[in-house]
A and B are shown apart, each in its own frame.
Chain A
């Protein structure tokens, strides 16, 4: 009885799946899927390597400090960094006094209340504060940005596939759409005349749907002046800020990797000893 019911159930499910298979094939032939502009013109991330790549990689402190400078002078005009506190910047190699000065001199003040009246007010930052956001709330952020919401950047490199390289590619990925050709030499606007970038958006083939609300944030060299004398080219700024935002997303990466090597070392010794005791105990038993 069990087997009879099973047979019928199996016949039903498998039969319906094979019917569905026929249906899928027929409709794919009748109405073949139209090529999409994303499929033909969305670009793979650019090849870029960072000091923190790989199981032995460590952050380049100088690069993180340069990235912080790019963030604070360029990105922070629109993007928040809510999960990071000023005190965390000690990990970038700043002294306690430098962190205090950074917090105090930050362009946006920290929301607070007036101790006399209880009215909303702002005060200068202290190391314990999280980085204050450029806009008071989402509505204010959208109002200032053509109704687009600049995402918080704390986790952005973990929230995108291959995040650091993606961010680097995106920042350098603004192109002129007129006459833009992909690697196969196909011209976008000739293949997809409807795909012209709408007003208020910006063409960037590294962005998921090719049109991003953010205008090119690093359109020219020397937007910042690096303290260590590094030339602030566009590629340098894009790379530094990508490294910095990798750190904001994964501030414990170095602890993680060094703990990982210690754990692996311990486990190799443990496993060798366990294997030897296994062989010793079983020495007289054929198995």
Chain B
């Protein structure tokens, strides 16, 4: 698909003509990220983060493939092989720190990308499929990152694996057998480490595949934009190349400056010191925490403290632990239903006064609080805060958003993107 005014790929030389007739791959690229893809002219810097997420995935795959050449997936050797990479492999310290912090930066750009989608209503018709694929990518990323964190076989690797696979044992009846099936044993051990390594190597390529679908689905309706108003004509768009390739180049430079600053000058800032202690199944760390990007979900898990049952009878229907696990998965799975929960026809949060209030004063603070409390020990003040924030999180998406979309009076939308940009109404003929 494309808009009728999209530039057509015209191969010039004999070779490019020959290739185009047999395998039109250059044509595909031209139409995907070249001059053949018309994009709204008013995208702001939040629209850089899709490309940046792609770059982050490439960084992870390239550094990861080289790391795998030196890594040894064994409970006796994994920790030392990582230290061998840090000490004796040429530039190994760089590969390892880039991969370790690359995961964090991948999540940072993806969280900003998701934030963009949430605020500007990018999940709404006709872009629901892009959103669904995006949430799928996010879930795959979380699984990949978790398994990657286990590989160095430090204390947090081991105990993180213990805790996270422990979620499955909360499932009634089949829980414990399921957990043993996943781990290949009663506790994280050689079998678990080997399969985590295998899957950690596989999943990025699955993610790359789903990203192709994500971009394909994007090219059907074309990119959204900060006004949320659909493209009406050629004057509303510019060709992706050179306009957005240039802008993405600038965004990439800024992203890499942050990435390099952390990787080279504070490489362990986002990690946990306990992971420099080799895994010891006999010694539980005082305080098991996941990587920072899982903290909001970890806080939701821990926020459920009372069993659900029939009052005064002592009959428990759902235990607090199981409810925490369900809620933690539910907090991500509910995003799949977002296009049908938010029924407002207006996409951009700019033109939704009520939505905007709940978004900025409700959702964003609750996520900040959950991230903060997720890393704290279970003292009363942190539990109370995460219970309030988690209650708001679920209420926001499942209760408030459907009601807001119904009762809200949106502001007047501009007639077109060009009008919003130039401030001049379009000539009547256009």
Contact = CB atoms under 8 A, between A and B. Distances in A.
Contacts of A16: 304, 306, 308, 323
A19 to B, nearest CB: 5
A231 interface: no
A277 B249 contact: yes
B388 interface: yes
Contacts of A278: 246-247, 249-250
A256 B97 contact: yes
A260 interface: yes
Contacts of A155: 83, 276-277
Instruction: Sort chain B's interface into a size bin.
Output: 35 or more
B252 interface: yes
A7 B334 CA distance: 12
A23 B305 contact: yes
Interface stretch (A65-73, A159-167, A172-180, A236-244): A159-167
Contacts of B330: 9, 13
B93 interface: yes
B402 A264 contact: no
Interface of A: 2-3, 6-7, 9-11, 13-14, 16-21, 23-25, 28, 33, 55, 83, 88, 151, 154-155, 158-161, 163, 208, 249, 251-252, 255-257, 259-261, 263-264, 267-268, 270-271, 274-275, 277-278, 281-282, 285-287
7 contacts: A10-B399, A16-B306, A17-B388, A18-B387, A271-B254, A271-B257, A278-B247
B334 A6 contact: yes
A57 to B, nearest CB: 10
B391 A268 contact: no
A281 B247 CA distance: 9
A274 B267 CA distance: 27
A83 B395 CA distance: 51
B83 A17 contact: no
Interface in B261-309: 261, 263-265, 267-268, 273-274, 276-277, 286, 303-306, 308
B265 A25 contact: no
Contacts of A3: 340-341, 343, 402
Interface string B235-254: 00010001100110110111
Nearest to A156: B276
A158 B276 contact: yes
Contacts of B286: 208
B394 A281 contact: no
Contacts of B254: 271
A210 to B, nearest CB: 14
A21 B246 contact: no
Among A3, A7, A11, A23, max chain B CB count under 10 A is at A3
Contact of B256 (A11, A21, A252, A267): A267
A20 B389 CA distance: 12
Interface stretch (B133-141, B157-165, B378-386): B378-386
A14 B250 contact: no
Contact of A7 (B323, B390, B402): B402
A259 B304 contact: no
B80 interface: yes
Contact of B306 (A20, A159, A287): A20
